[in-house]
Structure 1
Amino acid sequence: MRTKINFLISVILLLSFESSAQQLPSKQEVLDKMILTNIYFMKKWPDPGVNVITNRERPSNLWTRAVYYEGLMELYRIKPDDKYLQYAVDWGESHKWGLRNGYETRHADNHCAGQTYIDLYNIDPQPERIKDIKASIDLMLTTDKIDDWDWIDALQMAMPVFAKLAVVTGDDKYSERMYEMYMDTKVTQGLYNKKEGLWWRDADFLPPYTEPNGEDCYWSRGNGWVVAALVRVMDILPEDDPHQKEYLKTYKEMMKALLLLQREDGFWNVSLHDPNHFGGKELTGTAMFVYGMAWGVNKGILKAKKYMPAIVKGWNAMANEAVHENGFLGYVQGTGKEPKDGQPVTYTSKPDFEDYGLGCFLLAGSEVYKLN
């Protein structure tokens, strides 16, 4: 009798757990959230070429807008709507397919627009679409300088450009230089802490710098940029690229570390090792971590049993708690480099730039969509 009672209790507890567990939304539900948030942005910015004005005026081919277009291109891949494609083409044409500060720039932020330029070239191979981005990277390759990427955001901004050029041209000089620059950032500059599986944003945050609780400072969005860089590069390059193992190894180390740092509500804090230092919900880092984990499950690299609960919690948290009825995204930290920047971060707070937060959200959605 006792055995039977214990069995029934176990069944009840199991059913209770399953009923309370979060469910992965349908493809349509994921897509609906992506469409809604994108409609909000396109309505707000009907002219993709107009300058962006915050604390000062900037051209719209800056990095924040370029990150948005990364996300838009992923939305276009799962929903090939002509208006998405035209919005991206109009953006490129408005800048004559040029880079901020000209093609002589070496700055990764200025190269980020090249990711979408190359994507649009692959759809319609008009030479002018990649003329300037290729010329800019070719100029870098005429020198031996490899230490340009001295902040980890740069990896996401520029690495996919090098990888895409390697594929477009069939010349591995681009992917080889990318690897050299990446390893300079990771090892020579020492911005990666292998022991923790996380990155310091730049040299300002290397030990002995600490957060208020005495822990090292690992900024959520900065680590999110690295996750996105690794995912995108591994996706772009062929499987036999000689450095895929290095990218994959670091990616797995990061996924393992980040899995343990997720909040109960599904978000990640802006300070990954000090939840009380400007603690609270934050979308951009969360979106890129969900993006990375979902990509890994989709590729069979990460175990679904282990990572799906975190993915589902993360996506549902963003979709249900950050997306306003009109498509505006809450809980987006403004630009900066550490937890204190762009604060306060709330449901109704407006970051100085809204575009990159949406780009991150669309990247996450593009992979969560494929999980169904």
Structure 2
Amino acid sequence: MTYPLRFSCPVYRLAASLGAWSLALLLTAAPALAQKLPRKKEVLKVMTLTNDYFMRKWPDPGQDIMTNKLRPSHIWTRAVYYEGLMALYATDKQPRYYDYAVDWGQKHQWGIRNGITDRDADNQCAGQTYIDLYQIDRKPERIRDIKACIDNMVQSDKVDDWHWIDALQMAMPVFAKLGVEYKDDRYFEKMYQIYNYSKTQHGGSGLYNPQDALWWRDKDFVPPYKEPNGEDCYWSRGNGWVVAALVRVLDVMPKNAPHRPEYEQLYLAMMKALPPLQRPDGFWNVSLHDATHFGGKELSGTALFVYGMAWGLNQGLLDKAQYQPIVAKAWQAMVQDGVHKDGFLGFVQGTGKEPKDGQPVSFTSKPDFEDYGLGCFLLAGSEVYKLK
């Protein structure tokens, strides 16, 4: 049996030596401790631990993934992991991380799951890492297929592809990276057209609710759909995907790129909406406006919000006094309550699109795919590591 890392926390070690009464006092003081940023070496240590667990479990990055059926390992779940791995590599340039990512690309011949005519954002997600690896070693085969795939979309009049909000994270950074690489605003313009259709048209009048500054996952959840408590259904990880999309686009777009101000405005609006929804323990619930609907700790959405907030702090876009304690509390919660001694991550909701999917979510529950939750966690860690 494995136990969460919280038992190595100084608060708990000290309390064990002083007795139950002191434990109560120290736990009362725990929220103050939770607001302190972790040391960089501690952040890197837990990132390394969790990633090593995964690399040991999947020594062959080309191996197919078997859940309810067999799938190739360049689907979106694994592609999100490689986003996190590349963030870890940027933090700690171990050659084995780079080699593992290159091996993954080579095993799939740097291809898209259904070929260059594939318009599915989930399948295009692998292109984020392909482009990153191309920019490290400019071998044309690394970028050939993802560029051809996105070029087909740029040259098309179709703009209704991203009918679920996860798609924004899967595909928007690909368009942005290509726009930067080729200094071609057509990628930025097409990205905006498809994004804007999702925001303002899908589901009737768009999947974004400006009143709450949150997104419905897809047309199935726009009003009159309600959660059991009568609130709108805002799925944590779904909104986390949008936050990650904005961060990853803004992080690479030139300051004068088309539509950048709107992306910044949306990012800041979402950042304002999220702090009041954080749980007392530091996590966010799977249902952001209904804590009773499969309520409880959930790591993947929490990690994506930490990623977004820590990035904003590092960019000087968010107020340090307000957001740094939120980030520190959430990161500490994930590490102490979610990380097993061997590096496995607990409290990760399985795949789906709403609170009831992938349940139950607990410290020992295993999601159907272990890769995307780790990717989210590594992205969060890469930005927490940079905080001063």
| TM > 0.5 | yes
1:344 equivalent in structure 2? 360
Q: How many residues align?
A: 357
Q: In structure 1, which of residues 298, 301, 304 is the aligned counterpart of residue 320 of structure 2? A: 304
What is the alpha-carbon distance in structure 2 between the residues aligned to residue 84 and residue 275 of structure 1? 38
TM superposition shift of 1:21: 5.0
Letter matched to residue 73 of structure 1: M
Which aligned segments of 4 or more residues in structure 1 are displaced greater than 6 angstroms? none
Is the Cα contact below 8 Å between 2:34 and 2:332 reproduced in 1? no
TM superposition shift of 1:24: 1.0
What is the alpha-carbon distance in structure 2 between the residues aligned to residue 356 and residue 58 of structure 1? 15
Matches within 5 A, 1:25-64: 25-64=38-77
1:112 equivalent in structure 2? 125
Letter matched to residue 254 of structure 1: M
2:174 equivalent in structure 1? 161
Structure 1 residues 338 and 26: alpha-carbon distance in aligned structure 2, compared to 1, 3 A threshold: same
What is the alpha-carbon distance in structure 2 between the residues aligned to residue 309 and residue 217 of structure 1? 27
Moved more, 19-28 or 179-188: 19-28
What is the alpha-carbon distance in structure 1 between the residues aligned to residue 187 and residue 59 of structure 2? 35
Is the Cα contact below 8 Å between 2:200 and 2:208 reproduced in 1? yes
TM superposition shift of 1:17: 9.1
Matched, 1:248 2:264: yes
2:223 equivalent in structure 1? 207
Matches within 5 A, 1:137-152: 137-152=150-165
What is the alpha-carbon distance in structure 1 between the residues aligned to residue 125 and residue 33 of structure 2? 42
What is the alpha-carbon distance in structure 2 between the residues aligned to residue 238 and residue 30 of structure 1? 29
Q: In structure 1, which of residues 353, 359, 362 is the aligned counterpart of residue 369 of structure 2? A: 353
Structure 1 unmatched ranges of 5 or more: 1-15
Is the Cα contact below 8 Å between 2:283 and 2:302 reproduced in 1? yes
Query: C-alpha offsets along residues 112-143 of structure 1, whole Å, 9 cap, x if unaligned?
Result: 00000000000000000011101111111221
What is the alpha-carbon distance in structure 2 between the residues aligned to residue 21 and residue 37 of structure 1? 21
TM superposition shift of 1:331: 0.2
TM superposition shift of 1:19: 5.7
Q: What TM-score do the two structures reach when normalised by structure 1?
A: 0.95
Structure 2 unmatched ranges of 5 or more: 1-28
What is the alpha-carbon distance in structure 1 between the residues aligned to residue 131 and residue 381 of structure 2? 22
Letter matched to residue 187 of structure 1: T
What is the alpha-carbon distance in structure 1 between the residues aligned to residue 344 and residue 54 of structure 2? 8
What is the alpha-carbon distance in structure 1 between the residues aligned to residue 377 and residue 301 of structure 2? 10
Letter matched to residue 267 of structure 2: Y
SS at match of 1:236: coil
Is the Cα contact below 8 Å between 2:113 and 2:123 reproduced in 1? yes
Q: In structure 1, which of residues 247, 263, 281 is the aligned counterpart of residue 297 of structure 2? A: 281
Matched, 1:266 2:282: yes
Query: C-alpha offsets along residues 192-221 of structure 1, whole Å, 9 cap, x if unaligned?
Result: 000001000000000000000000000000
Q: In structure 1, which of residues 169, 172, 184 is the aligned counterpart of residue 197 of structure 2? A: 184
Identity of aligned residues (%): 68
Letter matched to residue 325 of structure 1: K
Matched, 1:71 2:84: yes
TM superposition shift of 1:244: 1.1
